[in-house]
Chains A and B, each alone.
Chain A
Amino acid sequence: MTTVQEAPVVVPDFGDEDTDRKICFIASKGTLDMVYPSLVMANAALGEGIETHIFFTFWGMDIITKERQEDLQFTWMGNTAMHPPGKKMHMPQGLAGLPGMTGMATKMMKKQIADLDVPEVPDFVQMIVDAGGQLWACKMSADMMDLTMDDLIDDVQGIISATDFIELSEGAQVIFT
């Protein structure tokens, strides 16, 4: 217990001065476990008042594709780190290929995510949009996968080329996931 003052000793610095910090995430994966890193970090960046963009490319397009975003899957095939929560054992790779195993692993992971009160992908994307996040789709991926703006959720701002993205990300921190 030290000084007594008429006003708070310190007013937190909320950085209300306009910051030019800007972050662009590149979301290139469509497996359930690998879509969360960019979503979680983008959401955190928005909560800090930072201009935030997500550029979806290759399998990451599934995150913003109407027909696919609810149905992302998880498999531990090829992921030697996979272990049940809190257990020291590893899941045998051979098991991952058995019929029904991807569905089971997906269900388990979705439950773990829900237990943390973290939203499923469609809700999460909506939350990011509501927080001011901007979504962009990759032109080459759209062409490859035969997708148009009609196939993508309404909040996607546009299908843009690699050059467009480089222009968009000028002065930004770019994070590839």
Chain B
Amino acid sequence: MPVATIAGADVAVDDEGFMTEFDEWNDEIAKFLAGQIGIELADRHWEVINFVRSDYKAQGETPTLRRVSTVGGVPTKELFQLFPKKPAKKMSYISGVPKPHGCV
């Protein structure tokens, strides 16, 4: 498993670059990862990130876009604006959790 130094911390990542250790994540890392894919984090991004992380912690799996909109309260349309084109993968990447596995 490769290790990357992000924002001064060593973090474990998988072959695609997704973080693999939930507890190694912090806000600075999130900002850096977002920058890597051209996203500047604003308040609404943080609402999504915080929901994704707390839901992952509670449920043991990454929420799907459907869940982020119905339970997390950020509408689908907005998710596509915040994390253009591939919102599910991008929000997971920045939030330091695996890609969602659910179909919907």
Say yes or no for B13: interface residue by CB 8 A criterion.
yes
Q: Give the distance in Å from the alpha carbon of A9 to the alpha carbon of B12 in the complex.
A: 10
Do A12 and B4 touch across chains, with their CB atoms under 8 A apart?
no
Do B87 and A9 touch across chains, with their CB atoms under 8 A apart?
no
Residue with the highest number of chain B CB atoms closer than 10 Å, among A1, A4, A5, A47? A47
Do B13 and A10 touch across chains, with their CB atoms under 8 A apart?
yes
Chain B residue numbers with a CB within 8 Å of A122 are none
Say yes or no for B58: interface residue by CB 8 A criterion.
no
Q: In angstroms, how far is the closest chain A Cβ from the Cβ of B47?
A: 18
Dominant SS at the A interface? loop
Say yes or no for A117: interface residue by CB 8 A criterion.
yes
Q: In angstroms, how far is the closest chain A Cβ from the Cβ of B45?
A: 16
Q: In angstroms, how far is the closest chain A Cβ from the Cβ of B8?
A: 10
Dominant SS at the B interface? mixed
Picked from A48, A124, A132, the residue with its CB within 8 Å of the CB of B86 is A48
Do B17 and A40 touch across chains, with their CB atoms under 8 A apart?
no
Q: Give the distance in Å from the alpha carbon of A3 to the alpha carbon of B33 in the complex.
A: 19
Do A6 and B5 touch across chains, with their CB atoms under 8 A apart?
yes
20 contacts between A and B (CB under 8 A): A3-B3, A4-B4, A4-B5, A5-B5, A8-B4, A8-B17, A8-B33, A10-B2, A11-B36, A12-B17, A14-B85, A14-B86, A15-B86, A117-B64, A117-B66, A117-B67, A118-B66, A127-B76, A130-B80, A131-B80
Restricting to A26-54, which residues have a CB under 8 Å from any CB of B?
40, 43-44, 47-49
